[in-house]
């Protein structure tokens, strides 16, 4: 049936419900506006018709003979006849002239009757229109099904459009207006025979009214923002569009006019070409802010601020910058009042959280505007309000937002210093005092709004108040004044920038949108330079030290409040704080980029030696500067460096070589050689130092394998001693590829043998197994003989590993992993494969060498690997091939 939707439409009921809701709101609004217009028209038409009827009663009698005039004529004839009889004369009566109504009466009555007809017609159509609109809504809502209602709305609405009911609605006031003009025209005609002066006066009023009406009809066509229009305006616009379509060509004269005046108004309101668009938008926002009467309305306004400013539209930044500066005290007081309402005890915790979140998020957006403020009032008032909020209203998310907001407010205010230019000490004394006062006020506000625990962390490091007056007073030339001003601006910018990191550490939370906040406040020096000089590095190191101390203060605060029970829990708490602010710590440490090698500060070592998610990224980022600086720190007198720092250095070096080698900058061969000598002379008793030494050598050999040319200078410090090969005759000449690979194969065997040495003592070290795996994976099969000493050492130490298998004190899994790494190493490819190795792309493969030449060593190797067969069954196939070739290997020496 037509009254019910088709079965195929059941799934679209929710979709059509959306249409019904929107259509119902639109149609109700349209019908209500029409109904209110028609009610006004009915009232006016009724009053106007009653008034017009009174005039018609007086004027319509002029259209027929007056009986009083006939009586007067008859009495006149009788008088003349009596007079003639008394004088014995003859009287001949004249026939009566036919009656002709005066022209003025005809015109007057015609206009007034037309006016009355138009007025009554408009009232009739208005009453019918009210009935039609009620019927329209009734029929559209007769069914409950969303699909049926949607189609009824659509059907009936397009019926309105088809039969032009909008035009009928515009026609009704036109009828009433025409009736009014006809009334005035008839009034002029009525007064002409009565009094010419009065007729002229009414005529002038009629002309003025008609002119104004015509002007108001045309005005919307010229000015889209005109509030004045008449019912004829749409018709005139339609006629204008038709004329344009007839006499112009869109291709040569631009686009055609808009279909309706409404669309013209909408386009004018949104057009970016309008010169006063920005001014109107600003006035609208300013009026909105002034008209907000309570906290709830202001909160709703502030909720919308961040979304507007994040559109990357400079217009909105300009709007809110003007709002901030136009009435800074008023806007700040409104927001401060909203903040204080969160601590009066009248709101629930959930409402307080939402309100604070809205306020702080809006303040972050406003403070990020890059235009400098005109006064300090805005930031000063808000910083004071934020500082006075009790700690009870904060959770971690709000505390994180507060950190970013306070930093941005201070940064935004510091921008004002750049605009206070001092041109001359003597000619522009007022500007010098203005700059000095602003700088001192700004510094005082920064100190007063920082966390109290932060004062001792930054004492003597970033305090520059005394430098303000001294620098400006000592400057005598414009250049010196400019340099002093620039230095002070940079000092304040550094102070704000580094306090951002320290404050985060003291609070133990990651600041809200820290990346965006950092991008905004970072001084240009730190964003563009690849390395920094000594003074800048001192500031960076002080910031790292203060930040790490801040982490300790935050953890210690937990002890004082009783949330942490003992020292172990304190360490856990400290690690948690560092993990929370890990991205910020990583970013700060990544700034440590000295121009030349320098001693590593203990705070940086502590940070880089912590297992944090971003540590590897930091190591890779500053690895170029770490190699030489770590080495320089190792080479200083041991008495100037703690045992803990030495362990930290080797752990960082191991991480650089093992974990981030692919992404890190590579050390020079001289650095590796110096480090190896340092380990051999001073740190041979430290297992990790030895691991670093052999891991670095293997990594360097791997990198050199990919080089385009080979020099003796690059590899001589990486080769073992003794060696099967003597140095080349000409040390300055590049090595041939075969000579290079012949030498480094022996170096790989020597490295592995050195790592396997003292397995029982080293195996418990946390990095031992990983180091052996990596060195074994890097090594490749020798392509030339190996010195017997290295053969013997390798077999002997591997045999010691095999003997540990039966030791109950040593876990079998450790032995298994060592054996698995050795067996899978490429040093045995010559024993497990028959093909050769390609040293360089496009070259002929070189055959492998059976490098275990010594018979005793070969027998030891066979016995050792045989013991391992049951230990690592997953590599039995490769091991069987190695054993078979070892057993079949003759005594003929390799070539």
DSSP string, 90-150: ---PPPPPPP---HHHHHHHHHHHHHHHHHHHHHHHHHHHHHHHHHHHHHHTS---HHHHH
Tell me the pLDDT tens digit for each residue of 733-785.
777 777 777 788 888 999 999 998 888 788 888 889 999 999 999 888 888 88
Per-residue confidence band for 279, with pLDDT thresholds at 50, 70 and 90: confident
Per-residue confidence (pLDDT) for residue 894, from 0 to 100? 39
Highest mean pLDDT among 417-426, 466-475, 863-872: 863-872
Q: Is 581 part of any domain?
A: no
pLDDT digits (tens, 9 = 90+) for 365-406: 988 888 888 777 788 788 888 888 877 777 888 889 999 999
Does the structure show a pLDDT above 70 at 520? yes
Q: Indicate whether 2 pLDDT > 70.
A: no
How many Å apart are CA 273 and CA 462, to the nearest integer? Answer: 49
Domain end marker among 194, 225, 247:
194
859-877 pLDDT per residue, tens: 888 888 888 877 778 788 8
Q: Which two tokens stand for residue 206?
A: 């009629």
Residue 111 shares a structural domain with residue 162: yes
Does 759 share its domain with 854?
yes
Give the pLDDT band (50/70/90) at residue 473: low
| 125 within domain boundaries | yes
Question: Is there a single domain that holds both residue 227 and residue 173?
Answer: no
pLDDT of residue 442: 57
- Predicted pLDDT at 893: 41
Full residue range of the structural domain in which residue 58 is found: 7-64+101-194
**DSSP single-letter state for residue 170:** H
Q: What is the mean pLDDT of residues 687-702?
A: 87
Q: Is 186 in the same domain as 235?
A: no
In contact, 369 and 518? CB cutoff 8 Å: no
- Mean pLDDT, the chain, whole residue set: 79
Residue 429 lies in a domain: no
Domain termination residue (choose one: 194, 223, 248):
194
Q: Model confidence at 277, in pLDDT bands (50, 70, 90)?
A: confident
Packing angle, helices 103-140 and 146-162, rounded to 10: 160
Q: Do both 147 and 41 map to the same domain? A: yes
For tokens 């506000």, the residue is: 445
pLDDT the model gives residue 462: 43
Asked, for residue 226, whether it belongs to a domain, the answer is yes
More confident residue, 771 or 564: 771
| pLDDT tens digit sequence for 782-825 | 888 889 999 899 999 988 888 887 777 787 788 888 888 888 89
Give the per-residue pLDDT at 24.
82
Whether 203 and 145 map to the same domain: the answer is: no
Number of domains in the chain: 3
- Residues counted in the chain: 895
Q: 174 and 237 share a domain? A: no
On whether residue 855 sits in a domain, the answer given is: yes
pLDDT in tens, 291-341: 887 888 888 888 888 888 876 677 888 888 888 887 655 788 888 888 888
> What pLDDT is stored for residue 458 in this prediction?
41
In a domain, 619, yes or no: no
**Looking at residues 670-684, what average pLDDT do you find?**
79
3-state secondary structure of 230: coil
Pair (117, 264) in one structural domain: no
Task: Give the residue, 552 or 419, on which the prediction is more confident.
Answer: 552
Answer yes or no: do 174 and 29 share one domain: yes
529 CB contacts (<8 Å, ≥6 apart)? 593
Is the same domain home to 24 and 51? Answer: yes
Domain assignment present for 58: yes
One domain for residues 261 and 122: no
In whole angstroms, what is the distance from residue 132 CA to residue 31 CA?
10
What confidence tens digit (pLDDT) does each residue in 51-73 have? 888 888 878 777 766 666 667 66
- Domain termination residue (choose one: 231, 248, 271): 271
Q: How far apart are CA 272 and CA 280, in angstroms?
A: 12
Helical ranges in 561-642 per DSSP H: 567-580, 582-589, 602-608, 615-635
Q: 122-178: per-residue pLDDT in tens?
A: 899 888 888 888 888 878 777 777 778 888 878 888 888 888 888 888 888 888 888
Looking at residue 3, its pLDDT comes to: 56
SS3 labels along 813-863: HHHHHHHHHHHHCECCHHHHCCCCECCCCCCCCECCCCCCCCHHHHHHHHH
User: Does 397 fall in a domain?
Assistant: no
Q: Are residues 202 and 184 in the same domain?
A: no
């Amino acid at each position: 049936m037509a009254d019910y939707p088709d079965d195929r439409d059941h799934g679209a009921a929710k979709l059509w419900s959306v249409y019904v809701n929107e259509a119902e709101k639109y149609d109700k609004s349209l019908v209500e506006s029409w109904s209110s217009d028609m009610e006004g028209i009915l009232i006016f038409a009724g009053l106007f018709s009653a008034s017009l009827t009174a005039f018609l009663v007086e004027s319509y009698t002029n259209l027929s003979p007056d009986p009083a005039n006939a009586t007067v004529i008859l009495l006149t004839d009788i008088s003349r006849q009596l007079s003639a009889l008394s004088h014995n004369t003859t009287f001949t009566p004249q026939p009566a002239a036919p009656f002709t109504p005066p022209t003025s009466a005809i015109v007057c009555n015609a206009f007034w009757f037309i006016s009355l007809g138009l007025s009554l017609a408009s009232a009739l159509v208005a009453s019918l229109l009210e009935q039609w609109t009620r019927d329209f809504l009734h029929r559209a809502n007769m069914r409950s099904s969303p699909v049926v209602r949607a189609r009824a709305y659509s059907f009936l609405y397009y019926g309105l459009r088809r039969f032009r009911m909008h035009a009928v609605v515009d026609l009704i006031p036109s009828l009433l207006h025409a009736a009014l003009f006809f009334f005035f025209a008839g009034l002029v005609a009525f007064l002409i025979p009565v009094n010419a002066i009065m007729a002229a006066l009414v005529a002038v009023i009629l002309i003025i009214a008609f002119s104004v009406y015509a002007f108001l009809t045309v005005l919307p066509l010229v000015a889209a923002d005109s509030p004045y229009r008449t019912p004829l305006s749409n018709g005139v616009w339609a006629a204008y569009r038709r004329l344009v379509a007839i006499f112009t060509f869109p291709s040569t004269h631009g686009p055609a006019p808009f279909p309706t005046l409404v669309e013209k108004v909408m386009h004018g309101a949104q057009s970016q070409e309008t010169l006063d668009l920005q001014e109107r938008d600003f006035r609208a926002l300013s009026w909105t802010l002034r008209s907000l009467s309570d906290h709830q309305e202001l909160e709703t306004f502030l909720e919308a601020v961040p979304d507007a400013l994040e559109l990357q539209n400079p217009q909105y930044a300009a709007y809110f910058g003007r709002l901030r500066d136009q009435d800074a005290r008023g806007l700040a007081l409104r927001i401060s009042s909203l903040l204080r309402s969160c601590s009066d005890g009248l709101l629930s915790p959930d409402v307080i959280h939402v309100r604070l979140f809205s306020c702080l998020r809006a303040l972050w957006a406003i403070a990020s505007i890059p235009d400098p403020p005109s006064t300090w009032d805005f930031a000063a008032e808000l910083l004071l309000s934020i500082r006075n909020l009790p700690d009870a209203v904060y959770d971690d998310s709000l505390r994180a937002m507060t950190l970013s907001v306070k930093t941005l407010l201070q940064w935004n205010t510091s921008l004002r210093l750049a605009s206070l230019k001092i041109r001359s000490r003597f000619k522009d004394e007022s500007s010098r005092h203005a700059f000095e006062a602003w700088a001192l006020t700004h510094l005082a506000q920064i100190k007063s709004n920082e966390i109290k625990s932060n004062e001792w962390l930054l004492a003597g490091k970033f305090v520059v108040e005394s430098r303000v007056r001294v620098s400006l007073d000592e400057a005598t030339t414009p250049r010196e004044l400019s340099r002093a001003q620039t230095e002070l601006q940079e000092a304040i910018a550094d102070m704000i920038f580094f306090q951002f990191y320290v404050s985060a550490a003291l609070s133990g939370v990651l600041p809200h949108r820290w990346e965006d906040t950092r991008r905004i406040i970072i001084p240009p020096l730190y964003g563009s330079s690849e390395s920094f000089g000594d003074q800048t590095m001192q500031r960076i190191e002080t910031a790292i030290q203060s930040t790490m101390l801040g982490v300790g203060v935050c953890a210690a605060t937990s002890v004082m409040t009783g949330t942490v029970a003992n020292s172990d829990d304190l360490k856990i708490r400290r690690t948690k704080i560092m993990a929370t602010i890990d991205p910020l710590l990583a970013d700060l440490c990544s700034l440590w980029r000295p121009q030349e090698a320098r001693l590593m500060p203990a705070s940086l070592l502590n940070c880089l030696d912590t297992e944090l998610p971003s540590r590897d990224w930091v190591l890779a980022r500053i690895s170029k500067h770490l190699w030489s600086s770590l080495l320089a720190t190792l080479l200083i007198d041991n008495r100037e460096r703690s045992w803990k720092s030495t362990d930290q250095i080797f752990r960082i070096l191991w991480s650089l070589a093992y974990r981030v080698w692919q992404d890190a900058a590579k050390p020079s061969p001289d650095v590796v050689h110096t480090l190896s000598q340092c380990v051999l002379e001073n740190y041979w008793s430290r297992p990790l130092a030895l691991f670093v030494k052999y891991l670095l050598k293997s990594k360097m050999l791997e990198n050199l394998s990919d080089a385009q040319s080979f020099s003796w200078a690059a590899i001589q410090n990486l080769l073992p001693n003794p060696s099967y090969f003597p140095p080349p005759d000409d040390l300055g000449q590049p090595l041939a590829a075969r000579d290079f690979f012949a030498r480094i194969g022996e170096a790989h065997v020597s490295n592995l043998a050195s790592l396997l040495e003292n397995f029982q003592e080293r195996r418990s070290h946390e990095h031992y197994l990983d180091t052996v795996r990596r060195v074994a994976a890097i090594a490749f099969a020798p392509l030339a003989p190996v010195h017997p000493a290295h053969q013997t050492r390798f077999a002997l130490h591997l045999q010691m590993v095999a003997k540990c298998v039966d030791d109950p004190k040593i876990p079998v899994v450790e032995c298994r992993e060592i054996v698995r790494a050795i067996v899978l190493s490429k040093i045995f490819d010559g024993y497990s494969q028959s093909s050769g190795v390609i040293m360089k792309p496009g070259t002929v493969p070189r055959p492998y060498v059976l490098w275990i030449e010594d018979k005793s060593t070969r027998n030891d190797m066979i016995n050792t690997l045989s013991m391992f067969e049951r230990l690592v069954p997953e590599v039995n196939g490769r091991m069987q091939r190695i054993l078979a070739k070892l057993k079949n290997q003759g005594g003929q020496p390799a070539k």
